[in-house]
Amino acid sequence: MASVTATATAIRRGTGRVRRSWLIVGTLVAWVLLWIPLRGHDTLPLPVAQLRPLHQRLNDLNVYIGNHRASSPFFTGFVNVIRSGIADLTTFLQSLISQPSYDRPVPVVGWLGVVALAVLVGYVLANLRMAVLAGVGFACFGLLGVWQESMDTLAATLAAVLICLLIGLPLGVWMGLSRAVERTLTPVLDFMQAMPTFVYLAPLTLFFLIGPASAVIATFVYAVPPVIRITAHGIRGVPESALESSRSLGATGWQSLRTVRLPMARRTIVLGINQTTMCALSMVTIAALIGAPGLGQVVVHALETLDVGTAFNAGLGIVIMAIVLDRVTTAASVRVEQGYRRGVGAAGLGGSLGGRLSRRAGRRLLLAGLGVLAVVAVYLSYTFVWAAVFPASDSGGLLGSGVVRGINAVDHWVQLHLNSVTDGIKNVASYGLINPLQSLIADSPWYLTCAVVVAICLAVAGPRTLPVTAICLALLIGSGVWQDAMVTLSATLLATVMVMVLGVVFGVWMGRSDRVDRVLRPVLDAAQVMPAFVYLVPFLGLFGTSRFTAIVAAVVFAAPVAVKLIADGVRGVPAEVVESAASSGSTAWQTIVKVQLPMARRALTLAANQGLIYVLSMVVVGGLVGGGALGYLVVAGFSQISLFGKGLAAGVAIVMLGILLDRITQGAARRGGARSGRSYWMGRTY
């Protein structure tokens, strides 16, 4: 019955869709026809070193703010207080584990102490396996010769996570309790999450200068939404029956919160903390561009000097850090779920009382042992140089120098022998896809491109999206970097199309086969927690600096989320519908094309939306490896004072592109009967 009505609506919607797709095709044909005579006219180009008046004014503003930083009450009383507070927190953490401090040549806790603490924390939060994982992972930082950088990254991540939790947890609880707060916060969080990673770096440096404070604040902005959202979700999701019974016994609101809501939402909240931690790590590495200390810096410098080996080595450090943090916090959420059972043991009725008791005593004993060990290790690492400075850290680490040399050798070999292959791929892609598309979009007169965007917006998303579209286009023109924005747009669109192709192929495959799903899903999950940075390195090694490298890295970064969304969409098609298609003699291909994909339409639009956001967030990162255009301008803005204003404008242009693409795809999703897809955060569904 339900499926009959669904089909009816689908058919009704279908006719509208056909008309709309003709409109899109017509628009595109008209665009190409007009482009032929008009190409190269009114494209609003601007060479890198040249500035528009707006950029000059932004430079002046930067100078002006610089001059008043020490005198204006807004700065001395507010901005500087925040800045120094956050900087102090970060410096304090660094002085504990990474930087020479308190008149000592080494940090307070040396490597031995940190490794022992990592083991202890791993065990306290999770279990023995996680403790071992944490210990081995941390030891790897030293072996790779990036101990100090890793600890810097860890310190900055911890600082950001601390602030996120301090602000995010109460806010999340409040949002979970109050509909009004939820209504107020949701659009703010939506906005924060739709922002391409990065673009708030420039405005932040305007106020907070380049340095750890800006980096940590940027990380906070990026990482705090998940913990707020997921905490609120957990608090709200507590079953009404439990709350009602608590109320019926006369519990106050506070008592209900403490005894019912918080304990029952515990596991979800820890999952939120996991997500926030992973976001923070990702952003801390990227925020190296505005002075975040640590592994990100190494990667950035290595990318700038094309030292693939060093970049890979540091990237490996980031990957290990990501794995340790993710595994330990995920295991912690499971443990929290069972944590209140400590007295009884999760085995419950099955486990004998004696077994439970001995398990409990065993854990106590091990905990005490590890605690003593950690204290001893911390003391040793405080006192002795051998326990403070990782062995062979001067010569690049026991393994690190080998990794660097090995990867550079491989890179060399690739350059030498695979050159024809990689160049071939690159050239085919460049001449066959990238150049034509870029030429069409960036060499069209601005008014033609604007008209096309408006027409497509009307066709895809409907008139409601038109005002936002118009404003975004106007601001893009006003930013003075129109042509660069169009180059970036073409790369973004191309990457998104590739993401969608991958998404549909693998998503359908996963959606139709449990086995494939079981194999691929953990890989995708792992890929998603990796900080964006590390995706650049291998492709840089293969393809050198080029637009193609940046695009491929963006595709690889964005593909997992799209694949998972589409797989879930295909999986969500009711089994009876698929069976009825099969029973009426459809081939597998017909079932996919005529039943599963159309019914997963919502997931497809959602995947396109998320794919765009992810791709766009890689634009700036891609600027480091030859992505050019807006990404390059943003990066240049950080390093060259004369380009500050232009970089800022480029950042705004990225935001405008982001909003434009987000609104249009969201509008399309709405028309397809879909709700907003914000519940997908880093690909996990809540």
Binding site for other proteins (CB under 8 A): 241-242, 244-252, 255, 259-260, 263-264, 266, 340-341, 343-344, 348-349
Whether 75 contacts 68, CB under 8 Å:
yes
The minimum distance between CB 528 and other proteins, in angstroms, equals: 30
Beta partners for residue 5, in sequence order: none
Q: How far is the CB of 267 from other proteins (least distance, A)?
A: 10
Nearer to other proteins, 41 or 341 (CB): 341
In sign, the C-alpha dihedral spanning 545, 551, 556, 558 is positive
Q: Which is nearer to other proteins, 178 or 245 (CB)?
A: 245
Q: What's the min distance (Å) between Cβ of 249 and other proteins?
A: 4
CB of 620 to other proteins, least distance (A): 44
> Minimum distance from CB of 178 to other proteins (Å)?
18
Q: Look at the block and give the residue holding tokens 């509008």.
A: 667
Is the distance from CB of 622 to CB of 197 less than 8 angstroms?
no
Closest approach of Cβ 682 to other proteins, in Å?
A: 27
Determine the length of the chain: 686
For residue 221, give the nearest of 169, 268, 276 by alpha carbon.
276
Task: Return the closest-CA partner of residue 624 out of 496, 560, 537, 530.
Answer: 537
The nearest distance, CB 352 to other proteins, in angstroms, is 13
Of residues 252 and 395, the one with the C-beta less far from other proteins: 252
The Cα–Cα gap between 59 and 650 comes to 13
Structure tokens at 576: 């009876």
Q: Where are the beta strands (DSSP E) in 378-486?
A: none
Task: Determine contact, residues 104/381, Cβ cutoff 8 Å.
Answer: no
Distance CA 458, CA 149 (A): 50
Helix (H) / strand (E) containing 628: none
Q: What are phi and psi of 626, to 5 degrees?
A: 95, 15
Backbone angles phi, psi at 293, to 5 degrees: -75, 160
Which H or E element spans position 685?
none
Considering beta carbons, is residue 5 or 248 the nearer one to other proteins? Answer: 248
Alpha carbons 456 and 28: distance in angstroms, whole number:
9
Give alpha helix (H) positions in 126-178.
128-143, 147-177
Give the residue with the Cβ less far from other proteins, 357 or 365. 357
d(CA 394, CA 213): 29
To other proteins, the closest distance from the beta carbon of 371 in angstroms equals: 26
Q: C-beta of 244: minimal distance to other proteins in Å?
A: 6
3-class SS at 69?
A: coil
> To the nearest whole angstrom, how small is the minimum distance from the Cβ of residue 235 to other proteins?
14
Least distance to other proteins, CB of residue 338, Å = 10
Pick between residue 260 and residue 619 the one whose CB is nearest to other proteins.
260
Burial 582-608 (b: 16+ CB within 10 A, else e): eeeebeeeebbeebbbebbbbbbbbbb
Nearest to 501 by CA among 354, 606, 578, 604: 604
Contact call for residues 196 and 655 (beta carbons, < 8 A): yes
- Taking the complex as a whole, the smallest distance from the CB of residue 349 to other proteins amounts, in Å, to 5
Give the count of alpha carbons within 13 A of 31, CB side only.
Answer: 25
> Apex CA 113: angle with CA 100 and CA 390, to 5°?
60
Cα–Cα dist 497/504, whole Å: 10
C-alpha 588/C-alpha 373 separation (Å) is 60
Q: How far is the CB of 268 from other proteins (least distance, A)?
A: 13
Phi, psi of 678 (to 5 degrees): -70, -10
The Cα–Cα gap between 531 and 219 comes to 12
Q: Is 201 exposed, middle or buried (0-12, 13-18, 19+ CB in 10 A)?
A: buried
Could you tell me the smallest distance in angstroms from the CB atom of residue 339 to other proteins? 9
What letter would DSSP give residue 674? P
For residues 686 and 509, the answer to whether their CB atoms sit within 8 Å is no
- Give 684's strand partners: 681
Contact 650, 482 (CB under 8 A): no
Q: How far is the CB of 253 from other proteins (least distance, A)?
A: 10
